[in-house]
A and B are shown apart, each in its own frame.
Chain A
Amino acid sequence: MSSAELQPAYVLHTRRFAENSLLVELLTRDCGRMTVFAKGALNSRSGRQGLLQPFTPLMAVWRGRGETPSLHRVEPAGPALRLEYKRLYCGLYLNELLLHLLGRQEPQLAIFAHYTATLSALLESTDQHATLEPVLRQFECRLLEELGIGLHLTHDHAGQPLNAETYYQYRIEDGPCLCETHHPLGIQGATFLALANETILSDQQRKEARRLLRHVLDYYLQGRPLKSRSLFR
């Protein structure tokens, strides 16, 4: 699939290929996740090495058919987002999640927009878990939604609206199911509703939301570990 004109993109990951070339995983606005071949990108004269880094808004053109077209032209679309410390780990986490969950060359317009918005939110955030975690949870919820495997956050398995005070256990197939208060896997209705409405999460809700999303994501990742989680320890 060739792109006729410059298209907005972000680098998710690069892998060295042969002596001085790169295989670049891109998240593009119109074509979704793409793997492109950047020949000679590591040559000091190519000027591409510094550009083909994650978190730099790019405009790219690629040519060729098949799974791996060649990167024809790439230019910066803005300054690189300078994510630091935990915000940088969060950025790497987003990239790892996208690489594992997105299929190749499936147009996902909304995901590109969410990704861009999430990077900006990370940039403006502080290094505190209380501000970073809600940004990640929101991204995860939206990503799952766009992939057609969104969470049931407002109604339980029987179709009843969730009660903020009640505890539920989340089942992938059915959604929230009533459970006893203080059940080890129980999550309060208020946490589901806060995620649905994208409102501020309390400390307890943050923990529950993390547990919920981890449970759901681990299911869809089919046992593949997310290495970037180890950076937060």
Chain B
Amino acid sequence: MREPSLLQDLIDSLRCLPGVGPKSAQRMAFHLLERDRAGGERLALALDKAMARIGRCRRCRTLSEHDVCHLCRRTDRDASFLCVVENPSDVMVLEQATDYRGFYFVLGGRLSPLDGIGPEELGIDQLRERLAEQTVSELILATTTTVEGEATAHYIRGLADEYDCHVTRIAHGVPLGGELEYVDSGTLAHAFAGRRQLF
């Protein structure tokens, strides 16, 4: 049996990261201790602060160290658009990839009854409050294209029917540069059903 030590503790702790097995954890620990102590200390401090101070934004539920995140505080964004996403990382990729200038709402997951995740677990009540403010004219559903993501989108659409707002769903289909031959049949069927007129 291995003797418990600070080194072993560090290696075991690093394994909580995704994709990090025992070997990589060991490599990381030795790297920090032997070659980059300053980096290690910076990492420890950053982790400590982040874990203690990062919570959820009161408006959009994304990760933020402030009560209301920097995006929700912006005054130059269009409050008539609200985009619903599953995870805080989705906000980041949409911000990088699109010129969307509305606000976001982060569910923190998707409806998956078989995993015990129902509407109560997704902050649906908070979304309802947001819609009740009556400022949103278009609700954009950017949940994933899995069956659970679809169920989530349908559930929110049902909810939005109670308020006067237009609901849209992001398109799914053939990837850019993708040849039809190599696209899986489900995606192709979706792309075909969602075809649109060329102007």
Binding site for B on A (CB under 8 A): 12-13, 15, 19, 47, 50-51, 53-56, 76, 79-80, 82, 84-85, 88-89, 91-93, 95-96, 99, 226-228, 230-231, 233
Query: Are A50 and B114 also in contact (CB < 8 A) when A88-B151, A231-B155 are?
Result: no
Query: Are A227 and B113 also in contact (CB < 8 A) when A54-B147, A88-B151 are?
Result: yes
Q: Which 4 A-B pairs have the closest CB atoms?
A: A227-B113, A228-B113, A230-B118, A50-B186
User: In whole Å, how far is B173's beta carbon from the nearest beta carbon of chain A?
Assistant: 12
Q: Which residues of A contact B146 (CB under 8 A)?
A: 53
Task: Pull 16 A–B residue pairs with CB atoms less than 8 Å apart, ordered by A.
Answer: A15-B115, A47-B184, A50-B187, A76-B185, A79-B185, A79-B186, A80-B186, A85-B154, A85-B158, A88-B147, A96-B113, A99-B114, A227-B116, A228-B113, A228-B114, A233-B119
Tell me the complex Cα distance, A196–B61, Å.
49
Q: Which residues of B contact A231 (CB under 8 A)?
A: 111, 113, 118-119, 151, 155
Q: Is B193 an interface residue (CB 8 A)?
A: yes
Q: Is the interface of B mostly helix, strand, loop or mixed?
A: helix
Closest B residue to A12 by CB, please name it. B114
Q: Which residues of B contact A91 (CB under 8 A)?
A: 147
Query: Are A19 and B19 also in contact (CB < 8 A) when A95-B114, A227-B118 are?
Result: yes
Q: Which residues of A contact B120 (CB under 8 A)?
A: 230
User: In whole Å, how far is B182's beta carbon from the nearest beta carbon of chain A?
Assistant: 8
Q: Which residues of A contact B193 (CB under 8 A)?
A: 82
Q: Is B157 an interface residue (CB 8 A)?
A: yes
Tell me the complex Cα distance, A80–B187, Å.
10
Closest B residue to A100 by CB, please name it. B114
Q: Which residues of A contact B116 (CB under 8 A)?
A: 227
Task: Determine if A92 and B19 form an interchain contact, defined as CB atoms under 8 angstroms apart.
Answer: no
Tell me the complex Cα distance, A156–B157, Å.
45
Binding site for A on B (CB under 8 A): 18-19, 111, 113-120, 145-147, 150-151, 154-155, 157-158, 184-187, 189, 193
Tell me the complex Cα distance, A63–B146, Å.
26
Q: Which residues of B contact A230 (CB under 8 A)?
A: 113, 118-120
Query: Are A56 and B113 also in contact (CB < 8 A) when A19-B19, A82-B193, A230-B119 are?
Result: no
Determine which of B113, B118, B119, B186 lies in contact with A53 in the assembled complex, contact meaning CB atoms within 8 Å: B186
Q: Which residues of B contact A55 (CB under 8 A)?
A: 147
Q: Which residues of A contact B157 (CB under 8 A)?
A: 85
Determine which of A19, A53, A93 lies in contact with B147 in the assembled complex, contact meaning CB atoms within 8 Å: A53
Q: Which residues of B contact A54 (CB under 8 A)?
A: 147
Tell me the complex Cα distance, A15–B146, Å.
13
Tell me the complex Cα distance, A53–B189, Å.
14
Closest B residue to A25 by CB, please name it. B114
User: In whole Å, how far is A213's beta carbon from the nearest beta carbon of chain B?
Assistant: 18
Determine which of A76, A93, A99 lies in contact with B186 in the assembled complex, contact meaning CB atoms within 8 Å: A76
Q: Which residues of A contact B115 (CB under 8 A)?
A: 13, 15
Closest B residue to A80 by CB, please name it. B186
Tell me the complex Cα distance, A161–B196, Å.
59
Tell me the complex Cα distance, A50–B188, Å.
10
User: In whole Å, how far is A187's beta carbon from the nearest beta carbon of chain B?
Assistant: 27
Q: Which residues of A contact B155 (CB under 8 A)?
A: 89, 231
Task: Determine if B189 and A79 form an interchain contact, defined as CB atoms under 8 angstroms apart.
Answer: yes
Task: Determine if B114 and A227 form an interchain contact, defined as CB atoms under 8 angstroms apart.
Answer: yes
Task: Determine if B147 and A51 form an interchain contact, defined as CB atoms under 8 angstroms apart.
Answer: no
Query: Are A51 and B184 also in contact (CB < 8 A) when A19-B18, A85-B154, A230-B119 are?
Result: yes
Task: Determine if A13 and B114 form an interchain contact, defined as CB atoms under 8 angstroms apart.
Answer: yes
